[in-house]
Amino acid sequence: MKSPRKVVIAGIAAFAMVGALAACSSGGSESGKTELRVATFPPGADAAAYEAFDAQEKQFEKANPDIDIIGVEYEWEGPTFAVQLAGGSLPDVFTVPFTDSKTLLENGQLMDVTDEIEELGYTDSFNPVILDGVTDADGRIFGFPRQAYAMGLHYNRTLFEQAGLDPDSPPTTWDEVREDAKVIADETGKAGYMQMTQNNTGGWQLTAATVARGGSTQTDNGDGTYTSTIANDGTKASLEFLKELRWEDDSLGSNFLLDWGSINQEFAAGNIGMYTTGSDIYTALVRDFSLTPDDYGLTVIPIENDGGTLGGGDIAVVSPTVDDETKAAAITWIDWFYMQKLLDEDAAVLDAKTLAESDQAVGTPLLPVLNREAYEQSLVWIEPYINVPRDQMTPFIDGIWEQTPVGEPKGKTQEIYALLDPVVQAVLTDQNADIDALLEQADAEAQALLDE
């Protein structure tokens, strides 16, 4: 060989490179404890949220010294979920929305926790309708329903006042929503009302508006098949409502491409008078979007023609890739962190106290995942620590029990929501949009998806 020195140097370089690559995949606990990576908050949460979590982590680790909790920033995103799962970057414990749990169940992407839930004695405690959403055809359970919400009409009290409207008397019908939206737009120059349109949220909110008007975008045939009913009177009325606000009243502002994050941001910034989303949004609005609490108001979504309020929520689940030891730790965490505060006074008080001490929202209006009595009892326990302005949410808190919660469509939920995004966008950006034709086309495409 001409130059053995060169070969040695190059060989070292090659081994160093391979070694560096191999080191990327190394891991494992050095403390002897079971490391449990759990979802905390979406990126962007304020420092106080992390202080609160830090305190809760210490409380848990004191009670469970053999488990080492590692908080991981997490935000549910359907698009990247499968990749995170396959890539091993998901936390061991995380939450997913009800809407997606069925698909995840079918895909085998959730850990079976039936035995653990039975052992903990929850099976009979849950609201059966909610438990059904996380149970497969064989009766196996794949998650802990931990929080539920109903659709609400959220409004900016300051904009109401600036427009000369009474923030304590929010609109109760869609006609009143339209009238108030126009007044707000005319008097303040801000969007009086707005609706999400992007990243599947357009379809989600159109479905909510449809349900509120007594319509339905899908029929469950009960045999595992579904029929699309997108071209129904409720959806048509919802789109005509938007069309009137946009083209006759000009009360929707100028940005018609908004999704969950951007509409919350716009609302928290005081640029939107009213919008519809889940009743639990207050926590995220103050924690992630810096909402001024005095601006906030919440009422029930207007109901017409025997309609209902679209409900939703999320479930705490365990990654299907973890080993038995980690799974046991995960169940312990879910029970302690999510469930006990719904069932046990001491746990509820400790949770509320910890959150309140870090200025985190306590008392945001929800729907019960167990039953109404247990939910209201837990509110009594934590009453001294409630810090959200529930008096500004009175119309919702008083009115929600009169409304019928309706579950989201189950067949190809997110795909059909995605199909409806352009329909909403078309109505908002094209004055000549033919609503009937748009609905017929979306209906045919949705049925094709459901028939796959």
Partner 1 sequence: MTLTAKPPAAAPSAGEPAPPSTPAPRRRTRNLRTWVQGGGLSTLAFLAPMLIVFAIFSWSPIVQSIVMSFQQTNLLDPPTWVGLDNFAAVLSDPLLGTAILNTLYFAVLALLFGFPLPILVAVLMSEVRRGKGFYSALAYLPVVVPPVVAVLLWKVFYDASPTGLFNTILGWFGIPAQPWLQSSATAMPSLVLEATWAAAGGSIIIYLAALLAVPPELYDAAEVDGASIWNKIWHVTLPQLRGILFIMLILQVIATAQVFLEPYLFTGGGPNNATVTILLLIYRYAFQNSLGGDYGEATALSVMLAVVLALLSWLYFKLTNRWSTS
**What are the percentages of helix, strand and coil residues in the chain, rounded to 5?**
50, 15, 35
| Binds partner 1 by CB under 8 A, chosen from 48, 72, 120, 257 | 257
Conformation bin of residue 214: beta by default, left when phi > 0, alpha when psi is -120 to 50 = left
Give the Å distances, CA to CA, from 330 to 42, 73, 122, 143, 325.
20, 17, 16, 11, 9
Q: Does 320 participate in binding partner 1 (rule CB under 8 A)?
A: yes
Rank residues 124 and 323 by Cβ distance to partner 1 and give the closer one: 323
For partner 1, the binding residues in 15-34 under the rule CB under 8 A are: 16-18, 21
Q: Does 426 participate in binding partner 1 (rule CB under 8 A)?
A: yes
Rank residues 198 and 326 by Cβ distance to partner 1 and give the closer one: 198
Minimum gap (Å) between residue 95 Cβ and partner 1: 14
| Binds partner 1 by CB under 8 A, chosen from 54, 68, 220, 259 | 259
Q: Does 164 participate in binding partner 1 (rule CB under 8 A)?
A: no
Give the Å distances, CA to CA, from 60 to 54, 92, 351, 436.
10, 16, 11, 56
| Binds partner 1 by CB under 8 A, chosen from 147, 199, 216, 264 | 199
Of 436, 389, 379, nearest to 283 by C-alpha is 389
Q: Does 63 participate in binding partner 1 (rule CB under 8 A)?
A: no
**Whether the Cβ atoms of residue 137 and residue 131 lie closer than 8 Å to each other:** no
Q: How many residues does the chain have?
A: 452
Rank residues 100 and 295 by Cβ distance to partner 1 and give the closer one: 100
| Binds partner 1 by CB under 8 A, chosen from 210, 228, 251, 414 | 414
The two three-digit tokens of residue 74, written as one number: 């997490």
Task: Give the max Cα distance, the chain.
Answer: 91
- Stretch near partner 1 under the rule CB under 8 A, chosen from 4-12, 113-121, 232-240, 325-333: 4-12
For partner 1, the binding residues in 86-145 under the rule CB under 8 A are: 86, 100, 103-104, 107-109
Minimum gap (Å) between residue 36 Cβ and partner 1: 21
| Binds partner 1 by CB under 8 A, chosen from 70, 82, 129, 437 | 82
| Binds partner 1 by CB under 8 A, chosen from 83, 89, 132, 404 | 83
Residues 6+ apart with CB under 8 A from 6: none
C-alpha angle 208-212-218 in degrees, rounded to nearest 5: 60
- First CA to last CA across the chain, in angstroms? 64
Relative orientation angle of helices 233-243 and 435-450, to the nearest 10 degrees: 130
Minimum gap (Å) between residue 313 Cβ and partner 1: 17
Binding site for partner 1 (CB under 8 A): 1-3, 6-7, 10-11, 13-14, 16-18, 21, 78-83, 85-86, 100, 103-104, 107-109, 197-200, 253-257, 259, 320, 412, 414-415, 418, 421-422, 425-426, 428-430, 433, 445
